Amino acid sequence: MNTNSRRKFIKNTIAGSALLAVGLKGWSETIKKWSGSNSFYQPGNTSFETGYEQTPLPYAYNALEDIIDAATMEIHYSKHAAAYAKNLKEAAVAEKIDTTKPLEDALAKTSAYSTKFRNNGGGHYNHELFWKCMRPKQDNNKPAVKLLEKIESSFGSFEQFKTQFTDAAKTRFGSGWAWLYTNQGQLKIGSTANQDNPLMDLPSVEHKGFPILCLDVWEHAYYLKYQNKRADYIENWWKLVNWDFVETRLNG
């Protein structure tokens, strides 16, 4: 095959595939581009990068009441999320993953690792992000000017954005997550199944990019208070979004 026909072959083979368009090897670099150059979350002096250890919850278990009750928060953090962190560390040892590097690095290569890594790496990462995406409730809770303008220019209005994100969260069948993420500087909305997330290099992850806001729609996140009423949980959750934190992830 000469160079031209090889190029054509490659071009045809990758047509329509966002995953292969960036190349598997380039995936980590692409994520870095999406996330921008400022890699620190200043307010809590929390690194922009996520590690393998469970970090302390940034508020008390009852801080999100009456929208998310203390019992749900305690079980969610100390049982569910703690188990993901524990199982992730086991997988990392078994699969010789370099845990001195950010978890984002390994998540970007999820296809190379086991299902145990996929489920628990995603589970740990998603929850670490989710806790930081919330704060005690505020009525009329909105992002500050910079993020608000970006949301308005991307989705038409803040209300339209909320409607689209809410739909993504409501229509995720079974267990999963809704996301606001960036892809090459553009804000996008999507959802993933189970504990998958937009960082993962998996064909089944439709929405790829750098996650800046997430919502857990597993029943364990809301069932004690809301039972089957996922829509009510989502509607109330908007009052908890920590828009200041979300904006720190928007540096592309």
Residue 196, both tokens: 């998958």
Between 216 and 247, CB nearer to Mn ion: 216
Question: Strands 46-47 and 40-41: what pairing?
Answer: antiparallel
Nearest residue to the partner Mn ion, using Cβ = 216
Between 30 and 54, CB nearer to Mn ion: 54
Question: Strands 210-216 and 186-193: what pairing?
Answer: unpaired
Provide the minimum distance between the beta carbon of 35 and Mn ion in the complex, in angstroms, as a whole number.
23
Between 211 and 252, CB nearer to Mn ion: 211
CA dihedral 118, 123, 129, 131 (to 10 degrees): 180
Between 22 and 221, CB nearer to Mn ion: 221
Provide the minimum distance between the beta carbon of 170 and Mn ion in the complex, in angstroms, as a whole number.
17
Between 201 and 216, CB nearer to Mn ion: 216
Provide the minimum distance between the beta carbon of 111 and Mn ion in the complex, in angstroms, as a whole number.
23
Provide the minimum distance between the beta carbon of 132 and Mn ion in the complex, in angstroms, as a whole number.
14
Residue 142, both tokens: 């909105």
Which residues of this protein are in contact with Mn ion, per CB under 5 A?
A: 216, 218, 221
CA dihedral 168, 67, 146, 151 (to 10 degrees): 20
Provide the minimum distance between the beta carbon of 76 and Mn ion in the complex, in angstroms, as a whole number.
6
DSSP state of 241: B
Between 68 and 212, CB nearer to Mn ion: 68
Evaluate the CA torsion angle 27, 32, 36, 37 in order and state its sign: negative
Query: Is residue 122 left, alpha or beta, with left meaning phi > 0 and alpha meaning psi from -120 to 50?
Result: alpha
Provide the minimum distance between the beta carbon of 227 and Mn ion in the complex, in angstroms, as a whole number.
16
Evaluate the CA torsion angle 148, 152, 155, 161 in order and state its sign: positive
